[in-house]
Amino acid sequence: MNIIIKEEYRQSYPISFEKLTRKLLSIIPKKEIAGIGEIIIVDTLYGSKYLTKKGKRTGGQYYFKNKGELAKIKLSLSAIYRGMPRILFYFPLIAEFAFASVLYHEIGHHIQYSTHGIKKENEEDFADKYKTKMLAKRFIFWIIPLIIIYIILKIYYSLKPDK
Ligand SMILES: [Zn+2]
């Protein structure tokens, strides 16, 4: 069964979120995402139910399956990239990381619901743990380049004379 990915945003971006979503889904075991019918990518999720406790708009929302309809996930680009400069989209890894964080969190809700039922207390923790696990799986190859960049910068700054 294939997940339908709908791009319902108007703002233009230099990356394809449909392709990106498919790429991020491809590393998840099929059985974990079974039961998700649609992933809908929008500009903004409007309405008071999409506000977090801190009053910010949420980047994503998971919808339980309902009356014969499969589960759905909505992702809001304006919230995912809030405060980030547009130049970020030319660094695909960073743009991808921000998007993946929200997508994997919402998929975490789906997995928790399909394996444990709805347990309000720990659902955010569960979704965040799943997110961290999947981000590590997706971005593991970048750990080494990032460490190398870090070491080079450290050496560079340690050689620079103090002013
Ligand atoms: Zn959540």
Query: Lowest-confidence range among 20-34, 71-85, 86-100, 124-138?
Result: 86-100
| Section 21-39 average pLDDT | 96
Burial of 115 from C-beta contacts in 10 A (0-12 / 13-18 / 19+)? exposed
pLDDT confidence of 161, banded at 50, 70, 90? low
| Section 6-29 average pLDDT | 95
| Backbone dihedral angles phi then psi of residue 3, each to the nearest 5 degrees | -85, 135
Residue 51, beta-bridge partner list: 57
Residue whose token pair is 């903004």: 44
Compute the distance from residue 110 Cα to the ligand 1 centre, in Å.
10
Compute the distance from residue 158 Cα to the ligand 1 centre, in Å.
42
52 against 69, higher pLDDT: 69
Compute the distance from residue 144 Cα to the ligand 1 centre, in Å.
30
Q: What is the pLDDT of residue 162?
A: 60
| Backbone dihedral angles phi then psi of residue 4, each to the nearest 5 degrees | -85, 130
Q: Give yes or no for residue 47 having a pLDDT over 60.
A: yes
Residue whose token pair is 């993946």: 100
Q: Give yes or no for residue 104 having a pLDDT over 70.
A: yes
User: How many folded domains does the chain comprise?
Assistant: 1
Whichever domain contains 132, its CATH number is: 3.40.390.30
Mean predicted lDDT score pLDDT of the chain? 88
47 against 159, higher pLDDT: 47
- The predicted model scores a pTM of 0.84
Interatomic CA distance for residues 144 and 152, integer angstroms: 12
Going by the DSSP 8-state scheme, the letter that residue 84 receives in this structure is -
Q: Give yes or no for residue 163 having a pLDDT over 60.
A: no
Residue type, 125: D
Cβ < 5 A residues, ion ligand 1: 127
Range(s) of the domain holding residue 84: 4-159
Q: What is the pLDDT of residue 156?
A: 76
Compute the distance from residue 92 Cα to the ligand 1 centre, in Å.
24
